[in-house]
Structure 1
Amino acid sequence: MKRIHITLAQIQAFVTVAEARSFTIASEQLGMTQSAVSHAVAALEKELQVSLLERDRNGVFITEIGQRVLIYAQDMLTNAERMRQETSAAVGLETGKVRLGSFPSVSARFLPSLLRQFRQRYPGIEIILFEGTDDEVREWIHTRAVDIGVVVLPADGLETISIAQDEFLAVVAHNHQLAEQRQIHIRQLAHEPFIMSKAGCKPLITAMFRKAKITPKTQFEVIDLRTIFAMVQEGMGVTIVPEMALPTDSSGLHVMSLKPKHFRHLAFAVPSLETATPAVAEFLNEAKVWMQSLPSNVAT
């Protein structure tokens, strides 16, 4: 049986290019020349006797076999990082890297104080934050592109640690006919032009309307929350968003609680707590301690 001779440098080059979909970006992230990155990937392909990546004018694409190899390659890098962190911890050096996936509303309103506290306690552990939609973060967790992700519960197939509940609120223009109210029933929005968020909350919002046995008059479906709020300010419709998603400057908007109240329940999620690296385990432990200091109306 032929022995395969591959290096971690080759694995790292392949994984970085595959995740970035670009040799140029990968070379910048790795601090290598593009030629060196290409050579490393080519050497890996030659050793495995398969084509892992394909290039055309539109960019870099992962082949079918490359997709399967990528999962093992990411696991190899994770295990190598665990080895490094375990041995560093054995000699009293707390080092490592944590790749954290989140969505913008949580990144802006919930994470900064936790990240600051963690950095102060563990200056040798690097936190890299990736932002995306709910679905993107879940995909990143499953594909090992991130070590930890913020998800909305339930999260089948993942191990989770609950961190907060986020109340859904109705938002209308400040001069809207409903703007005199502080609370409304979702049925009062049934006949209003509705602007639906596609950033990840659509299934939860749709379920609210379905539970009330009504269908929203959805006029627009928008990903960018800034666009949604601008459209509401202009009187183009009403919307429902989580409290963490509200803009810092809400002038021109009127925010109301729903009755009954509706929440999304947020959690940190990992593929496996048992196989988490020491740095990831330290981050999750610090998060648990940090959450105990939060007001009871924020933490779950």
Structure 2
Amino acid sequence: MAVTLAQLRALVAVHDFEGFAAAADEMGVSQSAVSHAITTLEAELEATLVIRRPAIALTALGSELLPYARSTLSSADALVATAARAAGNLTGTVRLAAPSTVCFGLLPKLLADWQQAFPAITVSVFEGDDPELVEWLDDGAADAAILVNPNHVPAGAVTVGEDRYCAVLRDDHPLAAAESVTARDLLDDPILISGGGCGSDVTAMFRAEDQRFVPAQRVYDNAALLNFVAAGLGVTVFPSIGMGMLAANTRMVPLAPAKERKLIFSGPSNRPWSPLVQALISNVTPSSAKFHEDGDE
């Protein structure tokens, strides 16, 4: 059996980009090359891995093989990067996963610093919800991630910042001028909750005050969530690192007691880190930078 890396890359790309044409664009090859790679892989394994119609999707076996394909590709890329480092030619791509608020509030500076320090390393950013990030690290979909309050911090991981939860209120809200508010203070208003990311944390805060708590809305897009507040449809609780996303007629008020979050830059816990990830993390100064609702860092 002679399964190739090109075949595995095609399988992963067809899944991730939901089609042969999009996978070809991402890989920089023709659509027929992607189709040929999948067909020959299926012939080699004597099994159908991709459903072609009515919509592109992996079969049950294709889905079962996907994590192994990702892990194999990640290890192969790390092998090549290790050899390149030994030759003094550190180059390649790091797939970095992070929550949307971190992508907005923290990543721009990190990416600029890395681009200056390592011009031959490309960092591809993938946004995801907190629970997804650990899964992506474990199955090789991501090489590194910025995790929020992880249960386990692998050796070598560094803290790149801290933030805290704040209430997001319109400027004309009765509590807008308060120094701080509690979750109970907010229960008189319709509560809007993020459908992903920090949504579970925020829901738990309110259920600690009222076990019967049900949000007025669950909104999956952060920009939409904050615009709902701006429109007077309710209030929400949001990480202070996202303060730059607020509408002009809204503000953040700290929650009391304070609930802080640590932002941890880490590689995977189940395999060696790529030399490219090690290079990026060597350029990050362990930090306790705090992203406050007043705009200071």
TM-score, normalising length: structure 2: 0.89
Whole-Å Cα distance in 1 between the matches of residues 291 and 9 of structure 2?
43
Question: In structure 2, what residue type is equivalent to 1:90?
Answer: A
Question: In structure 1, what residue type is equivalent to 2:42?
Answer: E
Identical residues among aligned pairs (%): 31
1:166 aligned to 2:163? yes
User: Is this contact kept in 1: 2:163–2:291, CA < 8 A?
Assistant: no
> Which position in structure 2 is the counterpart of 1:225?
222
Whole-Å Cα distance in 2 between the matches of residues 296 and 206 of structure 1?
24
1:277 aligned to 2:274? yes
Whole-Å Cα distance in 2 between the matches of residues 45 and 241 of structure 1?
46
- SS of the residue 1:146 aligns to: coil
Question: In structure 2, what residue type is equivalent to 1:234?
Answer: A
Question: In structure 2, what residue type is equivalent to 1:25?
Answer: A
User: Is this contact kept in 2: 1:97–1:126, CA < 8 A?
Assistant: yes
Pick one of 182, 186, 200 that aligns with 1:203. 200
Pick one of 3, 8, 33 that aligns with 1:6. 3
CA deviation profile, 1:217-263 (whole Å, cap 9, x unmatched): 52111112222222222222111111112244542113211111112
Pick one of 61, 71, 76 that aligns with 1:80. 76
Whole-Å Cα distance in 2 between the matches of residues 277 and 154 of structure 1?
20
Moved more, 112-121 or 133-142: 133-142
Moved more, 156-165 or 192-201: 156-165
User: Is this contact kept in 1: 2:267–2:277, CA < 8 A?
Assistant: no
Shift of 1:150: 2.1
Whole-Å Cα distance in 2 between the matches of residues 68 and 216 of structure 1?
38
Question: In structure 2, what residue type is equivalent to 1:275?
Answer: P
> Which position in structure 2 is the counterpart of 1:256?
253
> Using a 3 Å threshold, how does the CA distance of structure 1 residues 232 and 84 change in structure 2: closer, same or farther?
same
Shift of 1:128: 0.6
CA deviation profile, 1:257-282 (whole Å, cap 9, x unmatched): 11111122222243237511110111
Shift of 1:207: 2.2
Shift of 1:42: 0.7
> Which position in structure 2 is the counterpart of 1:68?
64
Pick one of 120, 135, 140 that aligns with 2:131. 135
- SS of the residue 1:169 aligns to: strand
Shift of 1:139: 3.4
User: Is this contact kept in 2: 1:198–1:222, CA < 8 A?
Assistant: yes
1:194 aligned to 2:194? no
Gaps of at least 5 residues in structure 2 are 293-297
> Using a 3 Å threshold, how does the CA distance of structure 1 residues 16 and 135 change in structure 2: closer, same or farther?
same
Q: Over aligned residues, Cα RMSD in angstroms?
A: 2.3
> Using a 3 Å threshold, how does the CA distance of structure 1 residues 250 and 18 change in structure 2: closer, same or farther?
closer
Whole-Å Cα distance in 1 between the matches of residues 181 and 213 of structure 2?
15
1:235 aligned to 2:232? yes
Whole-Å Cα distance in 1 between the matches of residues 110 and 135 of structure 2?
24
Whole-Å Cα distance in 1 between the matches of residues 125 and 176 of structure 2?
37
> Using a 3 Å threshold, how does the CA distance of structure 1 residues 163 and 157 change in structure 2: closer, same or farther?
closer
Gaps of at least 5 residues in structure 1 are none
Question: In structure 1, what residue type is equivalent to 2:174?
Answer: Q
Shift of 1:156: 5.2
Whole-Å Cα distance in 1 between the matches of residues 244 and 181 of structure 2?
21
Whole-Å Cα distance in 1 between the matches of residues 205 and 19 of structure 2?
41
CA deviation profile, 1:183-237 (whole Å, cap 9, x unmatched): 1222111221111111311211122223445654521111122222222222221
Pick one of 244, 267, 279 that aligns with 2:264. 267
- SS of the residue 1:80 aligns to: helix
> Using a 3 Å threshold, how does the CA distance of structure 1 residues 49 and 274 change in structure 2: closer, same or farther?
closer
Pick one of 104, 116, 122 that aligns with 1:126. 122
Whole-Å Cα distance in 2 between the matches of residues 73 and 272 of structure 1?
18
User: Is this contact kept in 1: 2:161–2:289, CA < 8 A?
Assistant: no
TM-score, normalising length: structure 1: 0.88
Whole-Å Cα distance in 2 between the matches of residues 6 and 12 of structure 1?
11
> Which position in structure 1 is the counterpart of 2:102?
106
> Using a 3 Å threshold, how does the CA distance of structure 1 residues 273 and 46 change in structure 2: closer, same or farther?
closer
